[in-house]
Structure 1
Amino acid sequence: MIEGLINPADPPERREEKLLTIARVLMRRVEQITDDGGIAYAQFERAALLEDQVRERTRELSRALDLLNETNAALHDANRQTEQARQNLASAIETVQEGFALFDANDVLVMCNSRFGMHMPDIRSRLLPGLTFDGYVDLCAHSAHLALAEGETPESWSIGRKRRHEERHVSFNVRMDFDHWVQVSEHRTADGGTVVLQTDVTDLIRLERQEMGRILDDQERLLRATLDHIDQGVAIFDREAQLVGWNARLGALLAIPVVRLRVGTAFEQIMLRLRAGFRMGQGMTEARMLTWADGRHSRPPLTFDLRHDAGLILTVFAQEMPDRGFVMSFTDITTERRAQEDLSRAKETLEVRVAERTLDLADALGRAERANASRSRFVAAASHDLLQPLSAAKLFLSAIPPEGVSAPVAETLGKAQNALVSVEAILAQLLDISRLESGRAALSVGPVPVGRLLRQLAEEFAPIALAKGLRLTVRASDAVVLSDAGYLRRILQNLIGNAIRYTDKGGVLVAARPRGTRLRLEVWDSGPGIPDEEQEAIFKEFHRIDGRASASEGMGLGLAIVERACTLLNHPLALWSRMGRGTVFMVQLPLADAAAQPEVTHRPAQLDQASAAGRIVLLVENDAELRRALTLVMEQWGAEVIEAADAAEAQSLLADLGILPDALLIDHQLESDMTGLDLIAAFRADHGILPTRLITASRDSTLRRAAAEAGVPVLEKPVSPEALRAFLAGL
């Protein structure tokens, strides 16, 4: 009820006055009413409480009014600042030299300056806030000041302009009337609006056009100067096959007067001149050329020759240009063609001479090959013939009993034995060189245990090194390599032997060092070293650095064999040496697969040599001296020897004696149609398999394979007494 008496719109002083009046009226009424039940007092309390609430409500209302006044003041200041900012923005935009417009995220014009649309005064008054972007584009498209391209309509221009508006940033030039140009740029704002800038670029376009014209003029002058100074005749035609450019050389080559060459001359006129004195080559015809120049079909590049009756030869090259015109060049190749013809005739003459020379070289090569083959056969035959008496001499010397021989005679016999060993080594080296040079050396590449080979070589060369007072150190390896065991042994023998021979103090080191998938075998010495100028020559036959070559010190064949064997086996060979410091030879070998490594076998224990006593041996040898020496040696060991010079004699003796020998020693090269292997096969057919050895001086790999297939071990000449003794002891 009290709220109905108080008007909230009254000022606070008026409302307080009303409240005090209401309170006095209520107090008087309370005093007038007598209530024995205490109702009057309760009403008084409620009146007092109501008065407190009224005061509290009045204070809150006062604070709300104060806050409202402050807010209204702040809003007034903000509106004033916003208006000031708008005015400042409008002033700033107005100072911009370009046309400026701002469209909001809904493509509605928010504001623009007075220069926006300045090149289209017929629509300038309609560019007001609230205009849509599509409306703005349509106004521009129908403006009388917009210069449309040929064939372009306002509608097509409007569609293209709206399509560009879809991009976030765009810039393009618009042509206006009277050759004015405006550059329009659009940029998106952060809230999705669009800023449009219009810049007058007429001066830049005209300046660029002038510069381009100047460049084109310069290029035209440069092109004209170039055409006039080249040695080719050049004709340029437009898409209508009319002449638009040429040089003076064209008229000179085609003998066309200058007055006949002018802009607009049809290609047919040029063809008339070509028809008059030239013949076309490479299948080119006048009709085909005219069809090509017509341009109704594709124009692939053309090349053909023109021959004049006077002997002039021109090559023509025609090619289409990007603007559907084409260019033709005419080059005088008369001198080149004549030179080519002369060269062709000279070539024919030269071919005849080369053929004759080739035949001469083929004859020379045949003679050289025959000479080389003859030399190889001579070396092999000579070695075979030398090995026969050499083997006999060694056996005769070994047959001399040591008992009853004086010391000087024993020393002489030892020297003779050493000399025969040296001669045997030289013959073996000659045979190796012969096989390696002839290409007939057969390889048997397989897994070779390096450790076993190096230990054998250490045992072989240790006494030689000890005799010279040298240290021989061999660092073996458990690796297995892929090589030919025989040739690898010969390579290492020659390298180690050379190292010991040329080292006077210090020692020799033989080491096996793994290098990835390869193993490098190194032979180091502390010798005098090899000069740089000699490091290639030392691999030649019979070449020694000190100039000496003798049977006792070597003939200079060892490194030649090493180099050829390494080449044959594809084992890279390297050399490093320093004068006064020593030399190292290095051979790289491929490691064998672990699965291919051979099993290690143990040598059987050597049997008692006395077990040869009483054994009957059939010896078939066509050389009487060697046969007698072998018989003498074996008889000294207690064996009984049946001698025969050939297969027929051996078969006759066995038939007469009626006994079966315990072992066979058969020479392969017999003086009959039957070879040693043939005799062994015939004997086995009649009597079964007996212990057998094939004696031969031949190192032919074919013979070795045949003997291996027959299961017959080979004793090489000169026959080693130790090998022969081991064979008999094993019986």
Structure 2
Amino acid sequence: MADTLINPADPPARQTEKLLQIAQALMRRVEQITDDGGAAYAQFQRAAMLEDQVRERTRDLEHALDLLNDSNARLAGANRAAEAARQNLSNAIETVQEGFALFDADDVLVLCNSRFGMYMADIRDLLKPGLAFDDYVQAVSLSRFLVLPPDATAEDWAVRRRRRHQDRHVIFNVQMDGDHWVQVSEHRTADGGTVILQTDVTEIIRLERIERGRLLDDQARIIRATLDHINQGVCIFDEARRLVGWNERLGALLAIPVARFRVGASFDYLLQRFAEVEFGEGMTGAVLNAWVNEGGIRPPLSFEVRRGEGLILAVFAQAMPDGGFVMSFTDVTAEREAITALSGANETLEARVMARTLELEDALATAERANASRSRFVAAASHDLLQPLSAAKLFLSSVGDDSLEGRAREALDKAQNALASVEDILAALLDISKLESGKAAVTVGPVRLDRLMAQLRDEFAPMAARKGLDLRVVTSGAVVASDPAYLRRILQNLIGNAVRYTARGKVLVGARRRAGFVRLEVWDTGPGIPEEEQDNIFKEFRRLNAPASASEGMGLGLAIVERACALLGHPLGLNSVLGRGTGFMLQVPLAEGGGPVMQAEPRPARPSAQDRIALLVENDEALRRAMVLLLEKWGVSVLDTASGEEAFALIEEIGILPDCLIVDHQLGVGMTGIEFIKRLHALHAPVPARLVTANRAPEVQAMCQEAGIEMMMKPIDARALENFLNTLPPPR
């Protein structure tokens, strides 16, 4: 009822006026009607309540009306903003200098500007929202303004265009009628749509033609033509990382617009394009940028990148002499895909490689057999030479020193010196043979220099004194890492040469400590070495017309020094001035963690070899007789045999186990010296033994170490033999 009295559409003032009129009418009605039962008062009460409800409803209507007006205002503002944004977008797209078109995820045209489809007036009427991409491509391929590539039809062009549309990023140039050029750049949006930009690059291409023709000389034009016709993308940068040359293939491989390539462009833009590709193993953008920034001459850089779903590019970067660099990009996708197809050819190739390998193995085996024959010859020759030399030395040692006087004593000394010279020459020949064959075994360990240099001083002091030379040895407490035997031999040869070829003055031997190594130096005041001969002195049998006699050497000392230093990795230097002298420098590394080496405790007094029994096994009769003569001179009872089999028979016959064993290694037919000693130790008790041999092969040394047998090298030194006997334990 109240709804019919008050129209909600009326303004609030009108509704209030109606409510006041209704209230006045109700009051008059109450005053006119008299009701004894109180009906009039009840009606008044209801009227008052109705008035409150009407007032509350009025307030609600006013609030609702305010909300409605606010919503309408906001909606109107939003509509104006949307219209403005739409107009701004349309204006922005229209102001773009390139042709612009947006296709949605279903490849349907959403919008485009008036420059889209430039130079193709016959398709402009088709470029409206709702146009399918396939229809757009078909229309372009049939346009009379499109210049098709040579030997290509409109259908071929359309197929290639649709295929390119499958990639996320595509850039290519299209030639139009009238020598106009349009670059098409196609990019995928986040929602699956496609943005196509068409840029007029006619002026760029024309200017590039003019610039090329004006600036490039004949050679540059040939190079440019070569770059444009090769199947690789090439770019050249100067030392400031600025682009100075490129070819069209580069833009196609890297999907970079032609407009971006200009002389003086920074390498950073190309590096940004690498962020969109996947680097191959071991390469990152940071590594590439570091290589470019390194500048100067640096090693070439080679890696692969993958762009899109299947394109694989092999990249090669090469520095140029002027500090710039050139990069080439090669499409190796086909090569990678052809690997499977080449499996059959690989089998044939592997067979050829195997055949060639077998040929090389045969040649290597032949060379190894020749080298082995040489080693066997050297070993056999050394054994045959050292046998009589050992016998001669032992015979001379057996001659009593007290029984000779005058000229006999002098002759004995000369004979011993001659044998020592022969022994030195033979040892040099053996050393140079082992070093050249590559079979020299070295054992690197800590070597204390003060002890070694003191021994060398004592060894060469008499020789220097006889020539009136001042030999000074400045010792050092450093501990170096080297092979003690070869290091001693190197210094022996250097000091020996210095003393031998210095007529007057002095010889200085010292050590200078440096960071991580010690430099050993040997200086003399000799005649010096001409510069043109300083390389020749390290050759075998080279003596530079020195005044030393043949008995003092054969010119092998420095050859041994050079090869031994190379084997140990010790750098060797030479400094010589004619008329003033020569200096040799040798760098030896310090031993790691090497503190001072403790001095060995002095050994107790050695017992006498008198009344000892020695078993001598030697197949050379002259050497065996000389050793028996020397041992018996020292009071040793000798049981001598020519073979291991005879020695076992003799021991079984007399039933006595000797106090020591002196056994030659090469005993002819039958067991070797090592086999004899091992078998005797197995059958009886361990007996102190020395294996006498001229064979310096690492294999023999290894077998002795494994069996716990010490070696005594030929020619035998009488003092070494005497020391062995004096170290025997007391008789039981």
Tell me whether 375-384 or 483-492 shows the greater mean CA deviation: 375-384
Post-superposition Cα deviations, 1:465-516, rounded to whole Å, max 9, x if no partner, equal: 1111111111111111111111111111111111111111111111111112
* Identity score, percent: 51
Could you tell me how far 1:292 is from its partner in structure 2? 5.9
Q: Secondary structure in 2 aligned to 1:544? A: coil
1:240 corresponding residue in structure 2: 117
* 1:98-497 → structure 2 map (5 Å cutoff): 240=117, 266=143, 270-271=147-148, 273-275=150-152, 286-291=157-162, 298-300=168-170, 320=185, 324-325=198-199, 368-405=367-404, 407-497=406-496
Following the alignment from structure 1 to structure 2, what is the Cα–Cα distance between the partners of residues 710 and 243? 97
* 1:562-601 → structure 2 map (5 Å cutoff): 562-594=561-593, 598-601=597-600
1:716 corresponding residue in structure 2: 713
Following the alignment from structure 1 to structure 2, what is the Cα–Cα distance between the partners of residues 290 and 371? 70
1:536 corresponding residue in structure 2: 535
Following the alignment from structure 1 to structure 2, what is the Cα–Cα distance between the partners of residues 682 and 711? 13
CA 1:377–1:391: 2 relative to 1, 3 Å: same
Q: TM-score, normalised by structure 2?
A: 0.55
Post-superposition Cα deviations, 1:261-307, rounded to whole Å, max 9, x if no partner, equal: xx99948954485236x9xxxxx9644423267x797553579xxxx
Q: Which amino acid aligns with 2:484?
A: A
Q: Secondary structure in 2 aligned to 1:653? A: helix
Q: Which amino acid aligns with 1:275?
A: A
Q: Which amino acid aligns with 2:506?
A: G
Post-superposition Cα deviations, 1:451-472, rounded to whole Å, max 9, x if no partner, equal: 1111111111111111111111
Q: Secondary structure in 2 aligned to 1:482? A: strand
Please, which of 689, 692, 696 is the counterpart of residue 693 of structure 2? 696
CA contact (8 A) 2:183 2:198 kept: no
Q: TM-score, normalised by structure 1?
A: 0.55
Does 2:702 correspond to 1:705? yes
CA contact (8 A) 1:518 1:590 kept: yes
Q: Which amino acid aligns with 2:198?
A: R
Following the alignment from structure 2 to structure 1, what is the Cα–Cα distance between the partners of residues 383 and 592? 39
2:498 corresponding residue in structure 1: 499
Post-superposition Cα deviations, 1:366-391, rounded to whole Å, max 9, x if no partner, equal: 65554344323322221121111111
Tell me whether 420-429 or 358-367 shows the greater mean CA deviation: 358-367
Q: Which amino acid aligns with 1:694?
A: L
Following the alignment from structure 1 to structure 2, what is the Cα–Cα distance between the partners of residues 559 and 606? 40
CA contact (8 A) 1:380 1:434 kept: no
Q: Secondary structure in 1 aligned to 2:666? A: coil
Post-superposition Cα deviations, 1:75-133, rounded to whole Å, max 9, x if no partner, equal: xxxxxxxxxxxxxxxxxxxxxxxxxxxxxxxxxxxxxxxxxxxxxxxxxxxxxxxxxxx
Post-superposition Cα deviations, 1:159-216, rounded to whole Å, max 9, x if no partner, equal: xxxxxxxxxxxxxxxxxxxxxxxxxxxxxxxxxxxxxxxxxxxxxxxxxxxxxxxxxx
* 1:48-67 → structure 2 map (5 Å cutoff): none
Structure 2 unaligned residues grouped into runs of 5+: 1-83, 93-114, 122-139, 174-181, 187-195, 206-223, 232-349
Following the alignment from structure 2 to structure 1, what is the Cα–Cα distance between the partners of residues 449 and 184? 73
1:111 corresponding residue in structure 2: none
Following the alignment from structure 2 to structure 1, what is the Cα–Cα distance between the partners of residues 184 and 623? 91
Q: Secondary structure in 1 aligned to 2:587? A: strand
Following the alignment from structure 1 to structure 2, what is the Cα–Cα distance between the partners of residues 527 and 454? 21
Please, which of 610, 613, 616 is the counterpart of residue 613 of structure 2? 616
1:71 corresponding residue in structure 2: none
Following the alignment from structure 2 to structure 1, what is the Cα–Cα distance between the partners of residues 200 and 409? 107
Following the alignment from structure 2 to structure 1, what is the Cα–Cα distance between the partners of residues 118 and 374? 80
Following the alignment from structure 2 to structure 1, what is the Cα–Cα distance between the partners of residues 620 and 144? 101
Structure 1 unaligned residues grouped into runs of 5+: 1-147, 158-237, 245-262, 279-283, 304-316, 338-350
CA contact (8 A) 1:572 1:587 kept: yes
CA contact (8 A) 1:471 1:506 kept: yes
Following the alignment from structure 2 to structure 1, what is the Cα–Cα distance between the partners of residues 596 and 172? 69
Aligned residue pairs, count: 452
1:670 corresponding residue in structure 2: 667
Following the alignment from structure 2 to structure 1, what is the Cα–Cα distance between the partners of residues 370 and 713? 27
